[in-house]
Structure formats: structure tokens, C-alpha cells
Amino acid sequence: MKIIREIAELRKYRAEQQSGGRTVGFVPTMGYLHDGHLSLVNRAKQETGCVIMSIFVNPLQFGPNEDFERYPRNEERDLDLARSAGVDAVFLPTVEEMYPSPIRTKVIVSDVTERLCGASRPGHFDGVATVVMKLFQMVQPDKAFFGMKDAQQVAVISQMVNDLNLPVEVVPCPTLREQDGLAMSSRNVYLNEEERAQAVVLSRTLDQLELWAREPGMTAELLEGKMRSSIEAMPLARIDYAEVLSFPALQQIQGPIAAVSASQESLPAAQWIAALAVRFGSTRLIDNRIFQGGVRLV
Ligand code: PAF
């Protein structure tokens, strides 16, 4: 596995793949890899000839009071995991390599960033879209692989790719879960034992949705209320948001949920998302499910 730290070297490696006739799959990460990341690598290996992973904790997507400094990092462990997963090259730039001077050009995606994490983490998606755009320029991937735990991120990146005609296919991949259902996340290591035990309430609540959504006359508002009550049953849980919106446009839904109609939504029609962000102590966890009418898709 090739370890690359400089943009110039990355561009050279990319050009070699091109001359060798290999398509490039890209897995952008912030490191502290878990099985969720490795499942993206696996998918990329199935669909492309060469897999490049980036590991970069991007300061631009963290707010001033967020966990940039304490975000878990372990380069040696990450490299071992990436190597055993069959990654061909890992790009590990420093902050100085990525941002040699204060950045004055940003990618700002509107509308899909208005709610959910976009509302509770102002500026977060500007940082995500900007770094992903920069990485796309450097790696020039044919396909890029993103986990659906960050469904809003997938919606934002897809919007950016469409709006700016970027020659890359965004491949959304399923969320990987621990045995009890907790969505895998690098931030799960922050949870103490009691918080970890209660954190399962996110996936359990979302599991209930399929039943609730089929109740006659069920609306987004009623579902949000049910999600809130379920989460609030856990004494350590503090809700950041519990929302039901159209997907991928992430707009409010009017009327009964099982009848969300194609006319309310551009492509793909009639999909909606139930999304949660919940704090346990200083750890903020997110999770979601995507449905079509009353039927769960992801
Ligand atoms: O999902 C992440 O880990 C990050 O937001 C990403 C896409 C690597 C950009 O920093």
C-alpha cells in the first residue's frame, strides 16, 4: 500500500493509474477507521480498479466549540486496517498541505444544508463540501463512496456534484451497525459504559418507525413526536433533532406520510428520511432511516 503525504505525489500516482487503464475509487475519511469505513473500501474494490483512501481530520468542518482537537486519531492503526482491507494508496496530508494559507474560496451548498446537522452545526457543510471538492480535484476519482449514516452529507455532496458537473459518481453505501444496532462511528469511543448502553435507543427508535409510519393518518409531525418520546425515555439522552423530511431534498412533508407523493419531491420520488441527532454527555450521535411511502429502504 502506497502512503502519500503530498498533493504533487498524489497527482502523479493518479496519473499512473490513468495510464495503466485503472479506474479509481475514492474513500474519503477522517481516520480512526472502523468496519463502516472498511465496508466502503470493500465496495470500492468491487467497483473500481484502484482504491485511494484519504485520512484527514478537516478543521474547516468543525465549529469553534466542537471536537476537532480531541477527535480520535491513530495513524499506525489506520494504516494497518487500510492495508489489510486492500486499499491501494492512502493520502494523509497535513493541515498545512491542505490549507497552506487561509482559505478564501469555499463551496456553499444551499437548501439541503438548511436543516438537521446544517442547522445545528452552522458552517459544517461548507467545510465538508469544500474539502471534498478539493479532494476530488486532487484524486479525480471515477467513483466516490460515502456511508449513509451521514445521509445529509451524501445529499450535499450529490447536489454539489450535480450542480458543478463534477465527473464523479457518488456511491451511497449502507450504514454498518454494532451487534445491538448502534451505528458505527469513530465518535462511539467517547461514550462511557452507561452512555453506550443507552445509545442503542437511536436505532431502536428508528426500528419502530416502520410500524408507526403505517398507522392510518400518520404525519411527519406525529412521527417526530413519537421519536422524541422514545428517545426521552433514556435519562442521559439530550435530543439535538428528531426530524422527518423528504429525501434527498430535505424539505418539510405535508400530509399523511404513507402517501408522500412524487409531486412533492424531485428525484427520487416519494422518499423520506427520519433523522436523529442525540447527545450523551459531550458526545453527539446521529442515525437515520430512509423510507418510500410506508416502506423502509435503508
Ligand atoms: O464523513 C467524513 O468522514 C468527512 O465528513 C469527510 C467526507 C471525509 C470530509 O472530511
pLDDT digits (tens, 9 = 90+) for 105-153: 999 999 999 999 999 999 999 999 999 999 999 999 999 999 999 999 9
Instruction: Compute, in angstroms, the gap from residue 229 CA to the centroid of ligand 1.
Output: 31
Are residue 167 and residue 194 in the same domain, yes or no? no
Q: What is the mean pLDDT of residues 261-268?
A: 42
* 37 is an active site residue: yes
Give the ligand 1 atom nearest the CA of 147.
1
User: Is the Cβ atom of 58 under 6 angstroms away from ligand 1?
Assistant: yes
> Which of 173, 206, 241 is the last residue before a domain boundary?
173
Q: Which protein residue has the closest C-alpha to ligand 1 atom 5?
A: 128
Letter for the amino acid at 52? I
- CA pair distance 59, 121, nearest whole angstrom: 13
The three-state secondary structure class of 2 is strand
Q: How does strand 271-280 pair with strand 237-246?
A: antiparallel
> Which of 13, 33, 36, 37 does the annotation list as catalytic?
37
In a domain, 106, yes or no: yes
How many independent structural domains does the chain possess?
A: 2
Please report which confidence band the pLDDT of residue 293 belongs to, taking 50, 70 and 90 as the band edges: low
Residue 277, C-alpha cell as written in the block: 441527532
Are residue 70 and residue 21 in the same domain, yes or no? yes
Are residue 161 and residue 196 in the same domain, yes or no? no
Structural domain boundaries, residue 282: 186-292
| Residue 144: CB atoms within 10 Å | 25
Pocket test for ligand 1, best of 41, 58, 154, 173 (most atoms within 8 A of CB): 58
In a domain, 19, yes or no: yes
Question: For residue 259, what pLDDT is reported?
Answer: 52
User: Is the Cβ atom of 29 under 6 angstroms away from ligand 1?
Assistant: yes
Give the pTM: 0.95
Q: What is the mean pLDDT of residues 246-274?
A: 71
Q: How many CA atoms, within 13 angstroms, populate the side-chain half-sphere of residue 196? A: 12
